[in-house]
Amino acid sequence: MNLTNNTKVAVQDLHLYYGDNHALHGINMDIYANQITALIGPSGCGKSTFLRCLNRMNDLIKSVRIEGQVIIDQKNIYDKDVDEVAVRKRIGMVFQQPNPFPKSIYDNVAYAPLKHGIVKKGASCDELVEKSLIQAGVWNEVKDKLSEPGTSLSGGQQQRLCIARTIAVEPDVILMDEPTSALDPISTEKIEALMLELKKEYTIIIVTHNMQQAGRVADMTAFFHLGDLIEYDKTETIFINPTKQKTEDYITGRYG
């Protein structure tokens, strides 16, 4: 497969400053459709900052200044005429700590589709909630208690509920920032299996500190260090035959 014809997100010369702190130093990266792309690197290297640039979440931080382009489906999401709320609907995000709304399981999933007018209350909404929970692999565990609070579920179930909530608005891209680091191994395995299922329909970008996880799920892996993208390639290349010494030092555990 020629991946270069399949670019979903093209990042071009992206710089980000938190006040005087130059946190991303001109990142260039093509992210491919229906692939899982892992972002790895030592703490503070800019993985979360980079991820948040892809759905304009950094716009919410006052001190932030961004230069460069993030082109998703041929359109720079930082163009003046782009509505950032619409961007965040198309580019969904799952966080490290499962963060269901203080609402019922049903409402957690139904809230955004109702708000965005994707469905109206009633049968079509019920269907979308069911479909999203099935796709997120949590339906069987919650189908008999949809009116109970989302927060009453286990951590792993809550995370899958958050994934259901994300896919309910049918995004193009799903961003995940260490989505399993707060979870036990069995929940982690479920989320990883789910990611492999979801990539058929979505483009997934995941930050992970767990290199085994990157090895298990990611097609492509990007290694960041101190605000630079050091190396980006097929996952097996990054782990077995990296080009850069810094990458090799990191993956062999010499620092990080």
Ligand X SMILES: Nc1ncnc2c1ncn2[C@@H]1O[C@H](COP(=O)(O)OP(=O)(O)OP(=O)(O)O)[C@@H](O)[C@H]1O
| Interacting residues toward ligand X by CB under 6 A | 18, 21, 23, 41, 43-49, 61
Q: Alpha-carbon distance 147 to 183, whole Å?
A: 24
- By CB under 5 A, residue 48 contacts Mg ion: yes
Nearer to ligand X, 70 or 167 (CB): 70
Separation between Cα atoms, residue 211 and residue 178, nearest integer Å? 12
Among 41-49, 106-114, 186-194, 211-219, which window interacts with Mg ion (CB under 5 A)? 41-49
Identify what 21 binds: Mg ion, ligand X, none; CB under 5 to 8 Å per kind.
ligand X
- Nearest to ligand X of 138, 238 (CB atom): 238
Please name the residue that has the structure tokens 């479909």: 131
| Residue 49 touching Mg ion (CB under 5 A) | no
For Mg ion, the closer of residues 168 and 191 by Cβ is 191
E strand or H helix at 91, and its extent? strand 91-94
Strand partners, 32: 7
Shortest separation between residue 176's beta carbon and ligand X, angstroms: 13
Q: Torsion angle, CA of 19/25/29/34, rounded to 10 degrees?
A: -40
Minimum CB distance to Mg ion, residue 250 (Å): 16
CA–CA separation, 225 and 231 (whole Å)? 9
**Range in contact with Mg ion (rule: CB under 5 A) among 21-29, 40-48, 68-76, 192-200:** 40-48
Closest approach of ligand X to the CB of residue 17, in Å = 9
Kindly state the greatest CA–CA separation across the chain: 57
- Please give the DSSP secondary-structure letter assigned to residue 74: T
By CB under 5 A, name the binding residues for Mg ion.
48
